[in-house]
Each structure stands twice: as structure tokens, then as C-alpha cells.
Chain A
Amino acid sequence: MSVALPPADMSRALTRISHEILERNGGSNNLVLLGIPTRGAHLALRIATIIEGIESKSVPVGALDITLHRDDLRLRPPRALMPTKIPTAGIEGKDVVLVDDVFFSGRTIRAALDALGEIGRPRTVQLAVLIDRGHRELPIRADFVGKNLPTSRDQSVKVHLSEIDGVDEVLVGRAGEL
């Protein structure tokens, strides 16, 4: 087990992602940030705070639980549902940035796109992830990446955030070790 991203680097990566989101979208006017629970939702809040600091105005931020749209529900034990919070202004015609911690097979994001489609029709959907560990199973890519982390399939990657785990770090190890 090793630390792939120490706290200072995580903070720099999130700051860079925030700047890239603003650059790509020409500011924060039409932005909506939606984090995928649990840790993606916290990352979305952090990015929103950083963007507020840069632009001096608040960004709508929410959470999108995708559990009910997963394609592996039959293969795993039932998962607890997490809250979905869509900002009151909605997502219709907005530039939605989905935020997740680890980008792996792409199946979570596929489910998120389905879930979004039931809420409204955004102008664009973009994807920001803290870690891209590769091994995509679907034709999906990320727009903003904190760190590309080459891994093998039998490794596992775990993101810890101070809001939940008391510490900011990204760990890589053999499956079962984390």
C-alpha cells in the first residue's frame, strides 16, 4: 500500500481542475456542479468553494446518487441509497460538471448520464475526476483529471477525504489490502 497523492498535491489538483472548468466554460455563469456520492459530492463542494474564491460569486452545487441506475444491481448486495440534491435552478440548459473521486470502468458515469437524463436536458455534461486509474469498459472519458494513476486491474485505489475519513490522501494497494 502506498500513498499516491499527498494532501498538498490533492489541494493543488483541485485548484487546477477548478481553473480548467472556468477556462473551458468561460466563467461560472452557466455552471452546475453535481458530485456523485459519497466522496464525489464532497469533492464537488470543495471545487465550488475554490471557484467562489476565484470568481467571487457562488456556484450551484448538488449531489446525484446513481445507485438506482447501476447495471450491476443484480450482482451485488443491495446498496444504501444516498441523497440526491439538485440545485433549485435545475439543470435545464446548464453546463453540468459531474464530479467523482476515482474514474475506473466508466459504468458509474454511464449510470450518472442516465440519471441526469431523467432530471432535465443540460446544455453540456462534463466530467471532473480526482483520479483516473484507466481500464475503461465503456467509451467515456474525463474532461478534467486530478491525476492519472496507472494501475493494474487487481489493484485497488481508495480516496480518503478529511470530511469523511479525517485525512486527505489517495492510497493504492492490492485488492483486499485497503
Chain B
Amino acid sequence: MKHLLSINDLSESEAIGILNTAVELARVSDAPMKKLPTLRGRTIVNLFAEDSTRTRISFEAAAKRLSADVINFSAKGSSVSKGESLKDTAQTLQAMGADAVIIRHQASGAAHRLASSQWMSGTVINAGDGTHEHPSQALLDAYTLRKHLMHGAQNLKGLHVAVVGDILHSRVARSNILLLSKLGAAVTVIAPPTLLPFGIESWPADVSYDFDDVIPQVDAIMMLRVQNERMNELYFPNAREYSRYFGLNADRVKRMKTSSIIMHPGPMNRGLEITADVADSARSVIVEQVSNGVSVRMAILYTLLTGEGIESGALA
């Protein structure tokens, strides 16, 4: 495994290998000395053509804890805003000797283009491409689910997870549904019909339009952000109606299983898909998702950047 572009690049055992590696690496984040020499001398470029808080800083923290050199590159303030193409940007990074590029781009398939072109030779990690995939987010969500609900089991067999909201524009939903089903969990997606992608029936998930019906059955509820910036049509009448049918509020939380947890990949629209009191409640693991993100991204970098030039990337 050289690149991480899609959850489909991972077998079940490779995904579990990354989660297990993350468990060991989480101890580094707890130790007073938060640094390992593992990737010393390697250069990792954060190429972010689209805005990001959590993903960019957690990849940066992960790379730095493994002693890699990190170059941050965002579209704003670089020649991309002058109209430089992805190809020219990639060739520049290659000329500077980047060992890995972590790319966030508004175009679906941008990471794949970078990896399959001959523009650069390094490892490519997809940190979100358009409405396609966001594999590192799915891995950290699986890590969080496993830690809270699986009591030491390796996979997610027997778990039932609801993914609620703007499925149509969500790369997080697509990667999560692929990974959760790969790890044995059942997934139900809940959204207004206008926010479901074409062909959803072929995804490994059930579809429901009734949030209240599903709530008591599930072990975790994953809320998605309503992506206003990608909505150039009217997908629902107004925000109040959306909240009433698909928002998570205190009343709905009361009907959840007592052991179940609330997740959100962030950033949240407080008051739209989730109310502020629910987001800050004891059930919510939203902040913990962020710290788990650092451990999981360390595990991804470790898995992809050790043993270069060796074809089989499976963990021994």
C-alpha cells in the first residue's frame, strides 16, 4: 500500500492493522515526551486547496510527533490563487523532495489524479476530495466506535450506526459507510430524499427517512454537517424544518440506548443539525474524535511511510 486514496484501498485486516497501530501510538500522545524519531528526515507536505481546521492540524501534529518535517501549503496565499494548476503545484513539490503529500481538494478525484499521474513520486494521502472520500476521518471514527463500544474486539461486528444528514455532499459519509460495513457494522443512513446521492441503494447501507424510528435501535449516531457551501439548489424548505426532522436535540437523545454515543466530524452548525446542549453533553464524543484523529493519522503515516519500495504493505 503506497497511497491512501479511498477506503477501498484497504482490506479489512489492513484497516484493523491501522487501528491497532493507533492504539499503541495513542500512548505517545499521553506521554510527557510526545515525540518519536520514526520519520526523521522525511518531508510531508500538507496541500490544502480547501479550508480545514481539524484535518490539517491533526495531520500536522501527527507528522511532527513522528519527527517528520512538515510544510503547510494552502491555496490562499500561494500561487494556486493566481491560477496555478495542480500539475504545476505537484511538480514543484516533487522538485522540493516531498516524501508524502496530504491533499485536500474541492474536486472529487484530485488525490487519485495526483497519485496516478507521473507528476510526483511520493505517497499521496487523501484528506478529502470534493464529495468523494475522506478515509482518515472514517478510520478515526471507526477507532472511536471501537474504543467506546467494542470492549476489546478487533472489528465492529454487531454494531448498528446511524449516519444522519447531508449524505449527498458528504465524503465523510461515503468513507464511513464503506469502512463500517467492511468492519462488520450495520449502517442506516437517514436524510431527506433530496440529500441522498443517486445510486444510494447500491451502497452497503439501509436508507430511512424517519430519524425517530431509527434512534432507539442504534449504538451510535453520526451527525453530518449541512454543507451550505456546496448547496447551489434548494434541498430543503428552511433550516427550521430541517432541524425538526433531521436535527439531533435533547428530546431525541432521551430515546437513544443508554450506552450509545453521539459523533460529528466537525465543523458543526450548532442549532441546525445538532443543538448546542447535545453537542456538549456527556454522550457526545465529538472532542475526543479530534484527539483520536492525531493517533490514527500517526498510524496512517507510519504504515504508508515505512518500508518504502516494498510492494506488500500488509502489517506483519
Closest to A65 in B: B24
Q: Name the prevailing secondary structure of the A interface residues.
A: loop
Q: How does the 8 Å CB contact mask read for A99-121 relative to B, with 1 for contact and 0 for none? A: 00000000000000010001100
Q: How many residues of B contact A (CB 8 A)?
A: 25
User: Smallest distance from the beta carbon of B246 to chain A beta carbons, Å?
Assistant: 40
Q: Are A69 and B37 in contact (CB under 8 A)?
A: yes
Q: Which of B38-65 contact A (CB under 8 A)?
A: 38
Q: Are A76 and B37 in contact (CB under 8 A)?
A: no
Q: How many residues of A contact B (CB 8 A)?
A: 18
Q: How does the 8 Å CB contact mask read for B1-42 relative to A, with 1 for contact and 0 for none? A: 000000000000000010011001101000101011110000
Q: Are A74 and B306 in contact (CB under 8 A)?
A: yes
Chain B residues whose CB sits within 8 angstroms of the CB of A84 once the complex forms:
24, 27
C-alpha gap A81/B17 in the complex (Å): 9
**With contact pairs A79-B316, A80-B17, A80-B21 given, residues A114 and B307 touching in the complex (Cβ less than 8 Å):** no
Q: Are A81 and B307 in contact (CB under 8 A)?
A: no
Q: Name the prevailing secondary structure of the B interface residues.
A: loop
Q: Are B313 and A78 in contact (CB under 8 A)?
A: yes
Q: Are B24 and A77 in contact (CB under 8 A)?
A: no
- The answer to whether the Cβ of B231 comes within 8 Å of any Cβ in the partner chain is no
- The answer to whether the Cβ of A178 comes within 8 Å of any Cβ in the partner chain is no
**With contact pairs A69-B36, A114-B37 given, residues A75 and B24 touching in the complex (Cβ less than 8 Å):** no
Chain B residues whose CB sits within 8 angstroms of the CB of A114 once the complex forms:
37
10 shortest A-B CB distances, which residue pairs?
A81-B24, A73-B306, A77-B307, A68-B38, A78-B306, A68-B36, A118-B33, A80-B315, A77-B310, A78-B303
Q: Which residues of A contact B (CB under 8 A)?
A: 65, 68-69, 73-84, 114, 118-119
Question: Could you jot down 26 A-B contacts, CB within 8 Å?
Answer: A68-B36, A68-B37, A68-B66, A69-B37, A74-B306, A74-B307, A74-B309, A76-B307, A76-B310, A77-B307, A77-B310, A77-B315, A78-B313, A78-B316, A79-B316, A80-B17, A80-B20, A80-B21, A80-B316, A81-B21, A81-B24, A81-B25, A82-B24, A83-B24, A118-B33, A118-B35
